[in-house]
Structure 1
Amino acid sequence: MPAWGRIASLLACVGALAGPANAQLTDLVSRTSFRVCADPANAPMSVDDGSGFENRIAELFSQKLGRPLEYFWFPMAQGFVRRTLLENRCDVIIGFAQGDELVLSTNAYYTSTHVLVTRADSDLADVTTLTDPRLKGRQIGVIAGSPAASHLADNDLLATTEGYRLMVDRRVESPNQQMLADLVAGDLDIAVMWGPIGGPLVKQAGTQLKLTPLVGEPGSPRLFYRISMGVRNGEDVWKRELNSTIRALQPEIDAILRDAGVPLLNDMGTALKPETAP
């Protein structure tokens, strides 16, 4: 699930972050295993068979910290933080929008953005912005309630836009995969997706689809997000340990994300991140 979806789906947990539950949280972190909270069916991010790119990042951290990897699986939906992190069933969420108050965020370890996806032979394959007049009257797919949907509304494109559900149980429904299937079938002309989902799915599809990151899209809300790891509020020591590990492993993290097909931006979200730092 994309970053804004995680924020929306977890708002009901905010009350659980106050009061005695916050006391002495630093004592809860396991020192014998690397305990990760994850959705078992959130491909391409986390999957219970270990194939997601967040699984690969978790394995990298497990090795660096010298602690065996241990998962607590729970669907990424309402109650996720409360039923996982706050119940001390695990110690870290691998991917969380930086700055969300439900958790204490580490430093961001990547920045990504929304993307446009078209068929490779489409006359829209060179579109780079949602303000392009060629989108008028064309069939557009988007996740309903996402920031990209707001941009489509601002550009008067909703009349020909198909909304796909944001809040689903990924064990039984996959809106982003369905959106791409509809694009391939010709029911859509273009799809607008969160990059860390769209990028890997397009890569898996081969050469029949083209992906274009929406870099520098005008207007609001912003379409790029910095992704961090989430720990319990008050666990500053654990946060600093993870920050040190992120700094040490950043090249390996980037390599995992690029290999998965995730579009990476610079920290300000203004341009694609270069393959090699200058």
Structure 2
Amino acid sequence: MRSAKRRTPALACRARALTWAAGLALLASSAVAQTSDLVSKTALRVCADPANAPMSMEDGSGYENQLADLIAAKLELPVEYTWFPMATGFIRQTLRANRCDVVMGYAQGHELVLNTNHYMTSVYVLIVPEDGPLAAVEALSDPALKEARIGIVAGSPPATHMARNGLIGRAKAYNLTVDRRVESPTVDMLNDLEEGEIDAAILWGPIGGPLVKQAHPGFKVIPLLKEELPPRLFFRITMGVRQGDKVWQRKLNSLIRRHQDEINAILRDAGVPLVADMGDGMLDAGQ
């Protein structure tokens, strides 16, 4: 009898632990079901900026619009957009408000969204006239840049490298966060380069590359792959979904994996510079 009494508390604790575990599992499965239920079954609902050239445009001309069309076709669904400026409150007013289910381009590791696997890696680029004195530059430490006036988006990672190399004093800064329906710093920067207001421009490759291809054939786009000190200038880009939407995330991961070649073709056609995952070279055209 004494042996049975000694076992009773242990058995009771084990029973309580099993009950708690079962309850937590039930709550977890319920949460997954609830978040999965938020994803539309009748359309690919995309959150996008209506004036974020060259990525997303309300007229459907951006390459992220083309990526959305590709994913929607694989899902056999139409595309529906929720348009909102890519500025403060974008995720809160779109994805978190359950007005849409995916952001087509979002930097890996951002806490506001649950990232899919990345579908591209790209890098900041230096843009110069292809027949000018800076056409052979490959790094921001090149002495040829010492007297150059360089356009830079204020607060972007390359600004740190410019400061390290003594290039900030002559730089021309452009706004980082704007409503692109009324202001476009990237377009302004390239127009200034065209007009000789600046000698070179530094832009995020997926913006600068396509804009040069579309409207500035006399410019050369130079991926900044030789900057060895932090901050890094290459980033992996994912699709963003709501936090907790694991089922939807896995579905998009599968689509990205199976159709990477088609995704790459859209990006290359747009003029996006694609680099290896570790930012140590350009991605081979066959990949």
Mark yes or no: TM-score above 0.5.
yes
Deviation string 1:134-158 (CA, Å, 9 cap, x unpaired) is 1112111010000011110111111
Of the three residues 31, 36, 44, the one matched with 2:46 is 36
Deviation string 1:89-148 (CA, Å, 9 cap, x unpaired) is 000000000111110000000000000100122100110101111111211101000001
TM-score (ref. length: structure 2): 0.87
Q: Is the 8 A contact 1:62 1:68 kept in 2?
A: yes
Matched, 1:223 2:220: no
Displacement of 1:187 after TM fit? Answer: 1.1
Corresponding residue for residue 136 of structure 2? 126
Q: Is the 8 A contact 1:214 1:223 kept in 2?
A: yes
Corresponding residue for residue 220 of structure 2? 210
Corresponding residue for residue 82 of structure 2? 72
Corresponding residue for residue 162 of structure 1? 172
Distance 2:242 2:65 in 1: 20
Q: Which runs of 5+ in 1 are unaligned?
A: 1-20
Question: Partner of 2:106: helix, strand, or coil?
Answer: strand
Q: Is the 8 A contact 1:113 1:215 kept in 2?
A: yes
Q: Is the 8 A contact 2:32 2:246 kept in 1?
A: no
Corresponding residue for residue 184 of structure 1? 194
The change in CA–CA distance for 1:62 and 1:128 in structure 2 (over 3 A counts) is same
Corresponding residue for residue 204 of structure 2? 194
Distance 1:136 1:219 in 2: 19
Matched, 1:256 2:266: yes
Question: Partner of 2:259: helix, strand, or coil?
Answer: helix
Of the three residues 48, 60, 64, the one matched with 1:54 is 64
Q: Is the 8 A contact 1:24 1:234 kept in 2?
A: no
Corresponding residue for residue 234 of structure 1? 244
Root mean square deviation, CA, Å? 1.3
* Pairing of 1:97-176 with structure 2 (within 5 A): 97-176=107-186
Displacement of 1:207 after TM fit? Answer: 2.9
Distance 1:255 1:84 in 2: 29
Matched, 1:93 2:98: no
The aligned amino acid for 1:194 is W
Displacement of 1:209 after TM fit? Answer: 0.8
Deviation string 1:61-105 (CA, Å, 9 cap, x unpaired) is 000001111000000000000000000000000000011111000
Distance 1:106 1:83 in 2: 20
Give the fraction of aligned pairs with identical amino acids, expressed as a percent: 59
TM-score (ref. length: structure 1): 0.90
Displacement of 1:25 after TM fit? Answer: 2.0
Displacement of 1:248 after TM fit? Answer: 1.3
Q: Which runs of 5+ in 2 are unaligned?
A: 1-30
The aligned amino acid for 1:53 is Y
Matched, 1:265 2:272: no
Distance 2:259 2:120 in 1: 12
Distance 1:207 1:57 in 2: 25
Distance 1:266 1:66 in 2: 31
Displacement of 1:222 after TM fit? Answer: 0.5
Deviation string 1:157-190 (CA, Å, 9 cap, x unpaired) is 1111000000111001111111111111111111
Q: Is the 8 A contact 1:216 1:271 kept in 2?
A: no
Deviation string 1:21-41 (CA, Å, 9 cap, x unpaired) is 999322201111100000000
